C-alpha cells in the first residue's frame, strides 16, 4: 500500500513527463509517417498543447463528459464476486455505463473538440469491431461534421449491428477489401484519405497507437478513468488499491486507468492481452508473448511479425483486442518493469464473461472479460484487506450473439 494521498484534479492538463517532444517513450513511439503528414501532425500537436492549458477547452470537455457521456462513472464494489473468489476486495470501474457502451467515447469527444479548434469540417476514423466507429459517428453527429469510417469488409460482416448504428448516426461506412480486410487495412485506408484531404479533415484515431501525438493525446483523454478511480477509492476505502487490472488492445483503456497511479509505488498493475487459442498455437494477439520490436502504422513498438518482418495474422474472440501492435507507452512500461503484462485465452475470457453475468448481473464486453479472467486468478491469492480495481472497459450487448455461440453451442441453445 502506498501512503500517498495526493490527488490530481485537473483533466488532461496535468503534465506527465513522457513522451519527449518527438513522441518517444524511451526508445519506443516516434513519428514514422509519410512526409506529407508531418505538417498536419505538427499542427495537431501544437493545437493540442494549447488546448490542454486552455480553461475554455477544459470546461467544454468536462461539461460534455458529464452531461453527454455520463461521467463520472461509478466505482462499483463487486460484493458477491469478491465473496465467491474469497480474497481481495474487487472494485469495477464502470466504463461500460458510458454513452455508446465503452470507454472509447472519452477520446472521440476530446479529439472532435480539437478538430473544431483546428477548423476541420470532416472527420475520418478506422474501426475494427465498430466500437470506435460508433463513438466517432456519435460525436460527429453531435458536432454536425461529415464523417467517414473505414472498416474491413470482413469486420463489416461480423459487426453488422455496429455498421447499422454508424449509418443511423449519419456516417458513411467505407468497406476496405485489401489484404485480410480487417483493422490493419482499415487504418491504411484512413491514412491514405488523410494524406489526400488533410486540409479539411481530422483523423480520430481510436487507441493509444500510431504516430505522435496520438499515443500521448489518446492517453490524456482517457486519464479521466484513473483520476476518478483514484479519488473514488480514496474516498471510500481511505487508501490506494493494491492492484489495477485492465485489458490491452491498442492500450487506451489500460493506460487511462494506470497512468494517474504510476508514481504510487505500492500499486501493482497488470495489463492483459488476448491469448486467443493459446500462445503456442500462434493464434493470439499477445504482442508481449512471442512478439518483437518493429514499426507499424507510425510507431515503433512490440508487434507480431514473422522473421521477414511481415505482420502476422492475429486471433482473439474479442475483435477489440485483435491487433498486431501494442501502444508504445506500454512497451516502455514493460521495459521499466512498472507494469506486468500477461494474457487470457478465449476460453478464460468467456469464463469471466459468464461469471460476471451470473454473479453480478453485469454482462461485460468480451475485451473487458480478459481483465476479469486475470482478476479471477489474482483475487484468491490476495488477502481480504487487499483491494483490486478492474477496468470494465465496455458492456457486452455487442457480444451476446457471439458469446452465446461459444457457451451454448452453434444453435444458441444451452447444452445439458
Ligand X SMILES: *Cc1c(COP(=O)(O)O)cnc(C)c1O
Nearest-CA neighbor of 61 among 7, 166, 142, 153?
A: 142
* 297 Ramachandran zone, left/alpha/beta (phi>0; psi -120 to 50): left
Burial 247-278 (b: 16+ CB within 10 A, else e): bbbbbbbbbbbbbbbbebeebbbbbbbbbbee
CA distances from 404 to 263, 355, 415 (A): 41, 14, 11
Residue 393 as a binder of ligand X (CB under 6 A): the answer is yes
In the complex, least distance from residue 409 CB atom to ligand X, rounded to whole angstroms? 25
Judging by beta carbons within 10 Å of its beta carbon (0-12, 13-18, 19+), is residue 109 exposed, middle or buried?
Answer: buried
CA distances from 363 to 15, 97, 101 (A): 36, 11, 11
Element counts in the chain: helices (H) and strands (E): 14, 14
# residues near ligand X by CB under 6 A? 19
398 catalytic, yes or no? Answer: no
Residue 271 as a binder of ligand X (CB under 6 A): the answer is no
Q: How far apart are CA 46 and CA 126, in angstroms?
A: 23
Strands (E), 265-386: 268-276, 292-296, 299-303, 340-345
Residue 111 as a binder of ligand X (CB under 6 A): the answer is no
The single residue of 95, 126, 185, 189 carrying the catalytic annotation is 126
Give the range of 39-47, 79-87, 351-359, 364-372 binding ligand X by CB under 6 A: 364-372
Nearest-CA neighbor of 320 among 263, 255, 269, 393?
A: 393
Residue 82 as a binder of ligand X (CB under 6 A): the answer is no
Give the range of 157-165, 245-253, 351-359, 406-414 binding ligand X by CB under 6 A: 245-253
Taking CB under 6 A as the criterion, the residue among 30, 210, 260, 394 binding ligand X is 394
Q: How far apart are CA 197 and CA 205, in angstroms?
A: 16
Give the range of 55-63, 78-86, 149-157, 243-251 binding ligand X by CB under 6 A: 243-251
Residue 250 as a binder of ligand X (CB under 6 A): the answer is yes
Compute the Cα dihedral for 316, 319, 324, 330 and give only its sign. negative
In the complex, least distance from residue 212 CB atom to ligand X, rounded to whole angstroms? 17
Between residue 129 and residue 148, which ones bind ligand X under the rule CB under 6 A?
131
In the complex, least distance from residue 194 CB atom to ligand X, rounded to whole angstroms? 20
Taking CB under 6 A as the criterion, the residue among 61, 98, 244, 248 binding ligand X is 248
Per-residue interface string for the shown chain with ligand X, residues 218-237, x marking contact by CB under 6 A: --------------------
Comparison of 213 and 320: residue with beta carbon closer to ligand X? 320
Between residue 2 and residue 41, which ones bind ligand X under the rule CB under 6 A?
none
207 catalytic, yes or no? Answer: no
In the complex, least distance from residue 248 CB atom to ligand X, rounded to whole angstroms? 5
List beta partners, residue 268: 243
The single residue of 52, 89, 93, 104 carrying the catalytic annotation is 104
In the complex, least distance from residue 225 CB atom to ligand X, rounded to whole angstroms? 10
3-state class percentages of the chain: helix first, strand second, coil last, to nearest 5: 45, 20, 35
Between residue 301 and residue 320, which ones bind ligand X under the rule CB under 6 A?
320
104 catalytic, yes or no? Answer: yes
Comparison of 33 and 371: residue with beta carbon closer to ligand X? 371
Q: Is the bond preceding 85 in cis, omega lying within 30 degrees of 0?
A: no
Taking CB under 6 A as the criterion, the residue among 311, 365, 382, 390 binding ligand X is 365
Residue 259 as a binder of ligand X (CB under 6 A): the answer is no
- Phi and psi at 406, nearest 5°, equal -70, -45
Taking CB under 6 A as the criterion, the residue among 368, 369, 372, 399 binding ligand X is 368
In the complex, least distance from residue 98 CB atom to ligand X, rounded to whole angstroms? 10
Comparison of 202 and 219: residue with beta carbon closer to ligand X? 219
Give the range of 153-161, 189-197, 250-258, 401-409 binding ligand X by CB under 6 A: 250-258
List beta partners, residue 29: 24, 300
Length of the chain: 416
Q: Which residue has 470494465 as its cell numbers?
A: 392
The residues assigned a catalytic role are: 104, 126, 393
**Given the rule CB under 6 A, which residues bind ligand X?**
102, 104, 131, 207, 247-254, 320-321, 365, 367-368, 393-394
Amino acid at each position: 500500500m502506498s501512503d500517498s494521498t495526493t490527488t490530481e484534479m485537473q483533466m488532461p492538463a496535468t503534465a506527465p513527463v513522457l513522451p519527449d517532444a518527438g513522441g518517444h517513450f524511451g526508445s519506443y513511439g516516434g513519428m514514422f509517417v509519410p512526409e506529407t503528414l508531418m505538417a498536419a501532425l505538427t499542427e495537431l500537436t501544437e493545437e493540442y498543447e494549447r488546448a490542454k492549458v486552455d480553461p475554455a477547452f477544459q470546461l467544454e470537455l468536462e461539461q460534455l463528459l458529464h452531461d453527454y457521456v455520463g461521467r463520472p462513472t461509478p466505482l462499483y464494489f463487486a460484493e458477491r464476486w469478491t465473496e465467491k473468489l474469497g480474497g481481495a476486495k474487487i472494485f469495477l470501474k464502470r466504463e461500460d455505463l458510458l454513452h455508446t457502451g465503452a470507454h472509447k467515447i472519452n477520446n472521440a469527444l476530446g479529439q472532435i473538440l480539437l478538430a473544431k479548434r483546428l477548423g476541420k469540417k470532416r472527420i475520418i476514423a478506422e474501426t475494427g469491431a465498430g466500437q470506435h466507429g460508433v463513438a466517432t459517428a456519435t460525436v460527429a453527429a453531435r458536432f454536425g461534421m461529415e464523417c467517414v469510417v473505414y472498416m474491413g469488409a470482413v469486420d463489416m460482416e461480423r459487426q453488422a449491428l455496429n455498421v447499422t448504428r454508424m449509418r443511423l448516426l449519419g456516417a458513411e461506412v467505407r468497406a476496405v477489401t485489401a489484404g485480410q480486410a480487417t483493422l490493419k487495412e482499415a487504418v491504411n485506408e484512413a491514412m491514405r484519405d488523410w494524406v489526400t484531404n488533410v486540409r479539411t479533415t481530422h483523423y480520430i484515431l481510436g487507441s493509444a497507437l500510431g504516430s505522435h501525438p496520438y499515443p500521448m493525446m489518446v492517453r490524456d483523454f482517457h486519464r479521466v478513468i484513473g483520476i476518478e478511480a483514484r479519488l473514488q477509492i480514496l474516498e471510500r476505502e481511505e487508501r490506494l488499491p493494491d492492484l489495477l487490472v485492465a485489458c490491452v488492445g491498442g492500450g487506451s483503456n489500460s493506460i487511462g486507468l494506470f497512468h494517474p497511479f504510476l508514481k504510487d509505488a505500492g500499486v501493482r498493475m497488470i495489463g492483459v492481452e488476448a491469448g486467443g487459442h493459446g500462445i503456442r498455437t500462434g493464434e493470439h494477439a499477445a504482442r508481449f508473448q512471442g512478439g518483437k520490436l518493429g514499426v507499424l502504422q507510425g510507431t515503433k513498438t512490440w508487434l507480431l511479425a514473422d522473421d521477414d518482418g511481415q505482420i502476422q495474422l492475429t486471433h482473439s474472440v474479442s475483435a477489440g483486442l485483435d491487433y498486431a501492435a501494442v501502444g508504445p507507452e506500454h512497451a516502455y512500461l514493460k521495459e521499466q518493469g512498472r507494469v506486468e503484462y500477461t494474457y487470457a485465452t478465449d476460453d478464460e475470457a468467456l469464463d469471466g464473461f459468464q461469471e460476471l453475468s451470473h454473479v453480478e448481473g453485469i454482462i461485460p464486453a468480451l475485451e473487458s472479460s480478459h481483465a476479469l479472467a486475470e482478476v479471477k486468478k489474482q483475487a484468491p491469492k490476495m488477502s481480504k484487506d487487499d483491494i483490486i480495481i478492474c477496468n470494465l472497459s465496455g458492456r457486452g450487448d455487442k457480444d451476446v450473439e457471439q458469446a452465446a455461440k461459444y457457451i451454448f453451442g452453434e444453435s444458441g441453445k444451452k447444452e445439458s
